[in-house]
Structure 1
């Protein structure tokens, strides 16, 4: 530390004035301590509740299904039948060389043990479910449903018990040539739960490590990186406690997927806000003698942009409340809580810590009072200069590139099947693949039909006579409802089976006075696809409207908000198109999760606009000081380009952590958002928005006061004072 720094630190402590009044310096020191004390108390109160969030996280099918779909009603009603909820399972025995008599005897013994340990739906006491051999004699299939499985913990325990105690070491190992696997919807759900149980801690640790490494590289300080990381950790703790409170108070649905996304969002967005604030604070430390004054100026300078940024993300997420998909609907308030907590921590706790720790925190690159900012030719200076010299060429080239990437959407794979939702193949998927190879033209996954008991006979005859249905089994009755299991001739989730579901629903409108519903795993997947398409039509226009309103209020313009919104929508389309080019050919994903377009749109538009807000707010700030728009845009890019690039890299990296989870949904969402953020950071904001500002000039601010001042030949500074 140099002598100039020591002088600055001593000068920051004024001599106490005579009299009893507390000096201004004492008050300045008291405010940060008070803020930190409040946060310590708040975190102490929040910690016990944050730890309970996983206990109230729900991952039942109805927590993800469309709220108004037939399959959701079926799931609710089935849980109220005698025996409670059911879990459909498949016990699969396979030997490549053909099953032996000993294999068949082992299969019968294992089925008897399952029937002895659990109550089977649709089976009389002592009766065993039917075991079906394949035509080639290599595979045996036993389909059954366990009752009393309404609670996912009970279901998971049953799946693990059958695998560990009944199947034992024969599950999938093929030591003597025989493989025995447990599959079916219940087993797939249990495998998903196992992934999410370990995902929370893995995600938190992985995200923290990624953020820490990037902060160290950004700040090049042995200590400074730790402060934003601690603050974002405090924000995550507070958010988890608040979400737990919302679950208890309002019965909010918190799924494992939503809490995982919230964690990534807090670390990504919170670190972005920290980067912007610390960068501005470093600038102000060169202009102000006291750290408190420098922080006040920094908050005044970048606070509106950060508030607008977080408000945009929160508003975009809350638009998801109009979605009918339960999992998407619940993501709105859960994600918004995370963003608000990140904002609160970065605008209160982080400034308090930075002020108390003073300039020494930046060692070895300490910003001395009165020193000039280091002038160096940066990448963003070069990029801004090229956009300033040839704005038409740059804008046209960028638009053509984004348009070319958008064409990749035509190569997007079809809808993702349930068995393809894992990036690493669990036992349930392996069992399903074995069944499909052994029984290629039949469905092992029943459709659940619920009928009013008064019309059960008519409904059963209608189901049996429906084209595409090959077998119907009567199930339980209770509460005025009767359950049937209908088997389609086509493979699960195939186009043929979907057509059968549509025919069934159409035919079951016929019996007079009867109310019949079609559900089950395949019907749930079909309802998810159709509901997600409807949700896109409702949510996307609402998100665009919310973003535009916030941008207009911040920038006092109509043109600049439209430019920013069109730019981020283009980057979303390009990122999704790039996904279409790599998901199946490169990464081997067999389909696209139907929720990906909507969720990535909300995140990329809301988060992408953030960087536009940071850039355009600084451009407006420079314009208000009397600078022409063309020059102000280049100055804004030079001064904010580096920090926004760092923020974009951090945000992209945190969402990439999602891709490490062995779920295709998480991998696709993480990769699309990461690519979209990078496109927006290094292409859209840097080149396209800057070149648009060069071409539009004062029209960028139409019809605000900056535009009117420019039309009168003024600078706009006088109008700014009036604003």
Structure 2
């Protein structure tokens, strides 16, 4: 049977191999690719693609000398601009705009040559940077939306390798520490890598079949989930398999019993995570909606690999895979005082005190959300400042309080003159220029008097949209505004769906209303506290200038889904103990003692895998990784061990209301001899 499973996996990998390698080809990371089809800025981008010349790649060349530009500088600048105009097809002849202090020259440059091809766009940007070079104290920086997109693409393209290698290294170190074996750690790690390869092929298939959005963020998170969740499932299976090898002589039979024992809990927990992630399909934002299916693919591929391929490999390798701590048939594990026994005892003695103290602590941490910085601007999205951002900062200093990137207005061609007159007559407008016409539409370029993505420019964009109902208003600043508004809408829609879905699943699994409400309340409190810690760290410690608009929704979905995942392990074991006749307090403490090690190990691995995102070059990924990693640790070592256990002890049988377990038994049931001993084995590290 194990050889048959291996054969099927070989066939499966051969089928998906051609598709897995193509996932990066369908990855899109432009701002408009993240937006819903109904957004104004999305409509602008799509119409621009259809105008003569196609989509325009817009750059801003920023020439600067601290002491003021000299005549020689201006001659050198004109020569470079002329060379760019001769080499490349530009939409219009660039005209320089000098700064009031005479230190800076700004040259807007636009080309329709690259169109929507990101490789051609990147090549154009890099060639312009080669021509526009600094010399003799005269510095030049290439910025604008086209350069910003190219620099962002470089960061996203660099995520794949470092993200995978760092994740593998982190998981490998943790598995070596947990298993204390020079061999065993490698097996689940290899299986997780195979599951990740499978998930890439499935994700590409979803994109081709259903148009699922694939972004650098969603594909990176998918890899994190494969290794994090997959390793969690491996920890549960291997710990149970190790124990069964002490009772059962043949590894194949021991694995069958282990799968029957932990399989239902793993299936239930993975199903809950998948259901929570799929709720993101209700989001209007393309990037969030795409994150749901890709995250689900990662979890399900990890589940499939860990419940089929991992057991087959472990059976074929036999007991020697556990060397040097080989679980001999008929042996007993070394008994040691469990940390979770001590923690459970403290929670059992004063449950209400522990519960109140924990609630106050989480509430105090949640107050840190008041210190979260405002919405993240596009130029502040990089951990290390690229050239395009440096260019915009130079412009901001040279042209204080003035617009330095255009707002694109797409209006019906027959109303172009009236639209231009309406725009010119409004406050906050510095310049208006007619653009291309085609397909019944005319493009108008508008420059605001206020700085990009400032409150004043945002007000100008909103005023233009109100005054021009027949037109679409887009451009880089409008895209960021639409991202913020759409994320706000998605939070109102997706959060209730996630809560209701997870609650219904828990009710079905635990046959109770109180226990599911307790778990959901706990994970919501963890989410709020984690965001609060982020508010205390992002600005004051890390120096981030803003918070990603999607952080609240994505962190909520992941923390609720993953937190409930661990809650299922604890409460399911508590229910088993109660069904076996254990008194409520004993059931809660035994459940903590027997599952605490597994949950702690799994929580450490999952938190570490999400912490890998802290090393990536994009602020949104760093913020997401930080909040989820902190949330998982809070959930593992505070909420699961102390608060949920304390609440269960305090509520006693009421925690299972209105199910049969909520009622006192007419005759106490004694567990069969030896059964309690088996259930009370500590799962990890023996």
The residue aligned with 1:98 is: 68
What's 1:161 paired with? 127
> Does the residue aligned with 1:645 lie in a helix, a strand or coil?
helix
What residue number does 1:20 align with? Answer: none
Aligned-residue offset at 1:335: 1.1
How far apart, CA to CA, are the structure 1 residues paired with 2:158 and 2:412?
A: 42
* Deviation digits for residues 308-364 of structure 1 (CA, Å, limit 9, x no counterpart): 111111111111111111111111111111111001001111111112222221111
**1:715 offset after TM fit, Å?**
4.5
* Contact 1:474–1:485 under 8 Å retained in 2: yes
2:194 is aligned with 1:234: yes
Q: Tell me the equivalent position of 1:667.
A: 622
User: For the Cα contact (< 8 Å) 1:62–1:76, is it kept in 2?
Assistant: no
Q: C-alpha displacement at 1:369, in angstroms? A: 2.4
Which whole-Å deviations, capped at 9, do the CAs of 1:189-224 have from their partners, x for residues lacking one? 100111111210111111001100110000000100
Post-superposition offset of 1:468: 1.1
Find the counterpart in structure 1 of residue 80 from structure 2.
110
CA contact under 8 A between 2:344 and 2:593: conserved in structure 1?
Answer: yes
Specify the alignment match of 2:448 in structure 1.
Answer: 488
Show the counterpart of 2:172.
Answer: 212
Deviation at 1:697, TM superposition (A): 1.0
Q: Which residue of 1 aligns with 2:182?
A: 222
* Residue in structure 1 matched with residue 328 of structure 2 by the alignment: 368
Structure 2 residue matching 1:387: 3-state secondary structure: helix
| Distance apart, 1:435 and its partner CA | 0.2
Q: How many residues are matched?
A: 671
Matching of residue 508 in structure 1 with residue 468 in structure 2: yes
**Match for residue 392 of structure 2?**
432
**2:44 equivalent to 1:89:** no
Residues 357 and 705 of structure 1, relative CA distance in 2, 3 Å threshold:
farther
Distance of 1:375 and 1:717 partners within structure 2: 22
Matching residue of 2:647: 692
- Indicate the residue corresponding to 2:101 in structure 1: 136
Q: Does 1:338 align with 2:276?
A: no
Runs of 4+ more than 6 Å apart: none
2:524 to 569, 574, 579: 569
Q: Residues 307 and 627 (structure 1 numbering): CA distance in 2 closer, same or farther, change over 3 Å?
A: same
Q: How does 1:8-27 map to 2 (within 5 A)?
A: none
Q: Distance in 2 between matches of 1:656 and 1:103?
A: 47
- Structure 1 residues not aligned, in runs of 5+: 1-30, 510-514, 719-723
- Aligned partner of 1:146 in structure 2 is 111
Gaps of 5+ in 2: 673-686
Tell me, yes or no, if the aligned pair for 1:624 and 1:716 is still in contact at 8 Å. Answer: no
Distance (Å, rounded) in 2 between the aligned partners of 1:593 and 1:52: 29
Moved more, 638-647 or 618-627: 618-627
After superposition, what is the alpha-carbon deviation per residue over 1:441-468, rounded to whole angstroms, capped at 9, x for unaligned? 2101110000000111111111111221
Q: Distance in 1 between matches of 2:37 and 2:436?
A: 24
1:163 positional shift: 1.1
Write the distance in 2 (CA, Å) between the matches of 1:50 and 1:716: 54
Cα distance, 1:371 vs. partner? 2.4
Counterpart position of 2:19: 49
Distance 1:239 1:321 in 2: 18
CA offset at residue 64 of structure 1? 1.0
Where 1:492 maps in the other structure, the secondary structure is coil
Structure 2: how far apart are the matches of 1:244 and 1:616? 37
Out of 423, 429, 433, the position equivalent to 1:463 is 423
Structure 1 Cα separation of the partners of residues 513 and 37 of structure 2 = 37
| 2:277 aligned with 1:317 | yes
CA shift for structure 1 position 51: 1.1
What's the RMSD between the two structures over aligned residues?
Answer: 1.4
C-alpha offsets along residues 670-697 of structure 1, whole Å, 9 cap, x if unaligned?
A: 0000000000000000100010110111
More displaced 10-residue stretch of structure 1: 40-49 or 265-274: 40-49
The answer to whether 1:389 aligns with 2:349 is: yes
Q: What's the CA shift string for 1:25-44, capped at 9, x where partnerless?
A: xxxxxx11111111111112
Question: What are the residue-to-residue correspondences of 1:179-218 with 2, within 5 Å?
Answer: 179-218=139-178
SS at match of 1:473: strand
Q: How far off is 1:289 after superposition?
A: 2.3
SS at match of 2:50: coil
Instruction: Tell me how far 1:585 sits from its aligned partner.
Output: 0.6
Contact map agreement 2:32 2:479 (CA 8 A) in 1: no
Q: How many Å apart are 1:176 and its aligned residue?
A: 2.8
Q: CA deviation at 1:595?
A: 0.4
Deviation, 1:711, is 4.9
Whole-angstrom distance in 1 between the partners of 2:671 and 2:32: 57
How far apart are residue 508 of structure 1 and its match? 1.0
The CA deviation string for residues 458-491 of structure 1, in whole angstroms up to 9 with x for no partner, is 1111111122111101100000000001111110
Cα deviation digits, residues 520-573 of structure 1 (max 9, x gap): 000010111111000000000111111112111211111111111110110010
3-state secondary structure, aligned to 1:659: helix
TM-score, structure 1 length as denominator? Answer: 0.91
Is 1:59 equivalent to 2:14 in the alignment? no
